[in-house]
Structure 1
Amino acid sequence: MPRHSGGMARTRLLFACLALAAPIVPTTAQAAPLPASGLVLSVRPEMGSLSTTQLTCEPAGGLHKHAKEACDQLIPVEGDFRRLEDSGAICTMELNATKATLRGKWRNKKVDFQQVYSNPCVLRAFTGKVFDF
């Protein structure tokens, strides 16, 4: 019987040591990085020239002069600028059809969005800093 109780004592001691050692083991789990978002944006007014830039988000960067602000606007709408709300800016009734295009990857998902606005002012009113480059 002592032989059996000695084995149990060793088992209890082993479990006690493991319980104490568990908190000492460093955790190697890290938050998974956000998927890449790399976009090409272009604006083509009917009466004007084509403008194009590059934008990356999460983290914000690229050649876009307002990258952080543009990404801050695109993140809640999952990269679909057509879902942005009208800023309420007052624009003239000028007719200068302006096409906005956003293509690339948003969180590793292919995106290709286009919208035509009546003029560049209306474009900016509906898309904020996204197409302000």
Structure 2
Amino acid sequence: MFTCLALAAPLVPTTAAAAPLAAPLLPASGLVLSVQPEMGTLSTTQLSCEPAGGLHKHAKEACAQLMPVEGDFRKLEDTGAMCTMELNPTKATLRGKWRNKKVDFQQVYSNPCVVRAFTGKVFDF
């Protein structure tokens, strides 16, 4: 004769309030920056702002510079850096979104040093 012994936990109704899933914090500004000297290699990086991040080695400083000019690097002030008069036309490009608005800017400077002189940490990667 076999006896079955069943252990059962008492059934207790549970009401778990489902917490809404928090949306991931996405940057309000996500940019791809590139520098292409006529005589040199293309350099590209990613920059996220609000919060600052991405692959850019000076992300916090670059974002801090872009905030007051609404992401338009052409409005950045000259840093006063001294550059040689080397002629190596260099295109600086910034594409992506700035505060959820599409941006697509490019500017040609006389050489890579002048790019950094006029754009500070934004194109210093």
TM-score by length of 2: 0.78
After superposition, residues 87-98 of structure 1 pair within 5 angstroms as 87-98=79-90
- Asked if structure 2 preserves the Cα contact closer than 8 Å seen for 1:35 and 1:108, the reply is no
Give the structure 1 partner of residue 11 of structure 2.
Answer: none
Deviations, residues 36-80 of structure 1 (Å, cap 9, x unaligned): 100000000000000000000010000000000000000000000
Looking at structure 2, the residues matched to 116 and 49 of structure 1 have their Cα atoms a distance apart, in angstroms, of 15
Aligned residue-pair number? 101
State the identity as a percent.
89
Shift of 1:35: 6.9
Q: Whose Rg is larger?
A: 1
After the TM superposition, list the runs of 4 or more consecutive aligned residues in structure 1 that deviate by more than 3 angstroms.
none
RMSD of the alignment, in Å?
1.4
Higher share of residues assigned helix: 1
Looking at structure 1, the residues matched to 106 and 83 of structure 2 have their Cα atoms a distance apart, in angstroms, of 21
Uncovered stretches (5+) of structure 1, i.e. residues with no partner: 1-32
